[in-house]
Structure 1
Amino acid sequence: MCRRTGLTVRTLHHWDHVGLLRPSARTSTGHRLYDERDVDRLYRIVALRELGLPLETIGALLDRDGTGAPALAELLGEHLAHVERQLAALGGLRDRLAALVPAVRAAGGAPSVDLLALIQEVTTVDDTIRNYFTEEQLAALAQRRERLGEDAVRGVQEEWPRLIAQVQAELDAGTDPAEPRVRALAQRWMELLEAFHGGDPGLRDSLYRMQAENSTEIAQQFGGPSPELIDYVKRSATAG
């Protein structure tokens, strides 16, 4: 299933764990087996996620009886429109990068190998982000960034690594998450997250979903928090 769809094992296991996509059967060794109905449901999940719905909403929608689940033809049409918007956005990014490459080469500013690596990183990150956030959400984020100003945004970006290191040190030391100093760190953590999503539940769910499904890659490339660290913060934030 992973080879045919491009989804990761982690994603399929997570969706099984939360009850979103349970395989119809298992082998004697415990491997998941998916039938045609499972594949149909999987497509609906992927399409609705592409359209920006959180997993909880998708599960509730697909589990309804009768006409609750979206008709396949309608869903395909909405998915097509969303993909076309993505292609337009990616085409714009490609044009900008295509113009940048010869300009930098002509100026002798950067080795071509380094520049190509940069291009690959930019397009990969851009594509990943658009798998989780709708065009409307990205526009809202851009507007919030403009309102906050670059100095405030830069301050938050610089604070994150320090905060992650502080919380990691408490976790490594075995500090109880209910300890006041850990709760203070957890509160600041939540404040920084809210600065990103602005209290919008859709943005919050998209952010959490992207982190949950790409935690290893985010940690390796950007120094993001591990799932264990996030769980520690959540336990501290809810400690009474």
Structure 2
Amino acid sequence: MRDRADEGWKIGQLAERTGLTVRTLHHYDHLGLVRPSRRTSAGHRRYDEADVRRLYQVLALRQLGLPLESIGDVLAGTSSVEALLARHRSYLDQQLVAVRTLRAQVATTLAALRDAEGASVTDFLELIRKVTTVDDAVKKHFSDEQLATLAERREQLGEQAIKEVEASWPRLIARVQAAVDAGTDPASAEGRELGREWMGLLERFHGGDQGLKDSLYQMQAVNAEQIEATYGGPTRAQIEFISRATAANS
């Protein structure tokens, strides 16, 4: 690999050994990341053992996805590698959540498009808008991680199931209100059945995830008036009825 044992590696030899390009090694030299310990009288770069070890340190950190500027700080001792990796892990976590959400949205849209043969481009774009748009009220009460989970649940359930659930809520709310108006005991067979249906529809949303359930209840509590005006419920009386019916089912 060397011309002579004491001459070190030429840049082309080092590029071949590491799988890098000569251009990349020039760039590392320019940034001060890996500079050859000496040059020949003709100006050619020569890398010694210490240079090669440093290069492999750069490559190891680069393999973790760290930017070159941060790698330079670590090797210079001006930045803690532990702190840097912790920040980088947080960044990667955010990227993973974003990719999960995007993948679920793409899969949901693709499945819906396959079921919508003959639809116009305008219909397609409206479908994409519906799948990818998240209401501001939802964003306030659900974390990015939870939104990714919800996007994945929507993909798993499918658009037809989503439509069925959305259509079921107004009918169920009306039945609960009728029971309230009639003075039905929430602990009765009818009341307990309404409670089971109610909780079943909610579970289609949260899938048994306690965090999603808590965020859903919080969103409903904060936006109760708006939700009631838009969807006709649930009112406080309806929620009280369902709470007592659910307790009776426990």
**What is the TM-score when the length of structure 2 is the normalising length?**
0.46
**What is the TM-score when the length of structure 1 is the normalising length?**
0.48
